Amino acid sequence: MSRATIHPGTTQVPPADAKRSGPTSLDPAQTQKRGRSRWLLLLLLLLAAIAGGYFYFHHSAAKPGAAQTASSSGKRGAGANRIEVVTADAVQGQITKYLTALGNVTPINTTTVVPQVSGQLMKVLYTEGQMVHVGDLLVQIDSRPYEAQLAQAKAQLEHDQAKLDNDKIDLQRYQTLWAQNSIPQQQLATQQALVKQDVATVGVDQSQIDAVQLNITYCNITAPIAGRVGLRLVDPGNYVQPGSSTTSTSAISSTNGLLIINQLQPITVVFPIAEDDVPALMALLKSGSQVKVEAYDRDMTKKLADGTLLATDNQIDPSTGMLSLKALFQNADNNLFPNQFVNVRVNLETKQNAILVPASAIQVSPDGDYVWIFDDDERTVSKQAVTVGATQDYKTDVLTGVDVGDTVVINGVDKLTDGMRVSVQKAQPAPSTQPAPITQP
């Protein structure tokens, strides 16, 4: 039998008719058995994975923060994945309890100046929006017709006065003659009656003079109150007349008026409070204390004026359950304007030595208000139920649950749980700002 020679670098190729070693196919029963073994192995691996996951999550829930700590320790060291929070300390201070309401600025006096006499408007002496004082000349009406009437009334008075003087002389003469029995008594009585009649006529003449002089005074219209004049309603040359209920193109009626004056200093604000707050307010008034009232702009960011409570209504509106109050403001800076809507705060009580925390630290839940307190030694947070009072300038009065010096979380509370270790950043002191919106407990 000859042997084949294999040269280096060549590949030996078996003959095409050579038989392959090993079996070329499997028995069907053996194939089915191997398939079942594979499915059994996969099922066991799946059950093991489920059991491991259950144990992992169950262990994490039993010890909050343990999974986070372990994971962070394995990757970047202990505490690398802790939740960052911002904290602030509870301090002792003063806080004021307020009642808040929406008020309407109302002038103490509003005057519509109307003409008292008819005539042509000669001069308009005021400027629109001008501040005027009592007695300032505002409008002049043509007084010449009334001056002519005055001259006529004075002439009539002189005529009737001369007749009266003459009848008085005759009366003295008749009295002398009657004493001498030279005239009948009837003639004396007639002369006495004539003198009385002349006296009455002179009185009528004098009253006419006074009436015409008053009309001349009415031609010079002056400010009856001090305040601000509105926009001009008439022009020089207009014919004005009093007592007309309609307006025509040829006359300005008293219904429209010549101008409107609103008193601005002092000024009042009318506002309502709820009937539940009435007893506390009445108790404060009964004590004799002066109730302070503050007026703010629409956004409660700027104080407009300080005032005092002036009066209360005598009944609660049954349809709204509100009691109307009126506060008086000196309004030296004219920050309050008639019919302006302002936010009003009534100072009910000023509390000393209150425990104050930032308002953002108070969390609300169906079970009540609470805060997160930070333990500086353990570097953990705990949930603490609290009872709160009033809130002012972003500070809340905590009645129970927090002591002075406690550290509360004010930011980053969304994912906190009891006992969780956290990273802390102290809050920066807040800049001085205007008062924030006020809320009541």
The CATH number of whichever domain residue 329 belongs to comes to 2.40.30.170
Tell how many helices (H) and how many strands (E) occur in the chain. Answer: 5, 21
The enclosing domain of 194 has a CATH number of 2.40.50.100
Per the domain annotation, does 361 fall within a domain? yes
Residue of 346, 432, 350 whose CA lies nearest to 393: 432
Give 400's strand partners: 387
* Alpha-carbon distances of 238 from 120, 124, 249, rounded to whole Å: 6, 11, 9
Pick the last residue of a domain from 329, 349, 369: 349
Please measure the distance between the N-terminal and C-terminal CA atoms of the chain and give it in whole angstroms.
113
291 plus 339 within the same structural domain: yes
Measure the CA–CA gap between 55 and 117, rounded to whole angstroms: 102
343 plus 373 within the same structural domain: no
Per the domain annotation, does 14 fall within a domain? no
299 plus 369 within the same structural domain: no
pLDDT at 289: 83
307 plus 340 within the same structural domain: yes
pLDDT at 59: 54
Residue 351 token pair: 């509390």
208 plus 222 within the same structural domain: yes
Give 112's strand partners: 260
Per the domain annotation, does 69 fall within a domain? no
Per the domain annotation, does 27 fall within a domain? no
127 plus 249 within the same structural domain: yes
Per the domain annotation, does 50 fall within a domain? no
291 plus 227 within the same structural domain: no
* Alpha-carbon distances of 86 from 53, 130, 190, 288, rounded to whole Å: 34, 55, 111, 45
292 plus 202 within the same structural domain: no
**With contact defined as beta carbons under 8 Å apart, do 87 and 427 qualify?**
yes
Measure the CA–CA gap between 44 and 41, rounded to whole angstroms: 5
345 plus 355 within the same structural domain: no
Counting the structural domains of the chain, the total is 3
pLDDT at 56: 65
pLDDT at 15: 45
153 plus 233 within the same structural domain: yes
Residue 237 neighbours by CB under 8 Å, 6+ apart: 120, 121
Cα-based angle 99, 103, 104 (whole degrees, multiple of 5):
165
| Mean pLDDT in consecutive groups of 10 residues from the start of the chain, 441 residues | 42 44 50 69 80 65 44 44 88 88 95 93 94 95 96 96 95 92 91 95 96 96 95 91 53 69 96 93 89 92 94 94 96 94 90 91 93 91 92 88 93 89 75 45 42
Q: Which domain holds residue 401?
A: 83-95+351-426
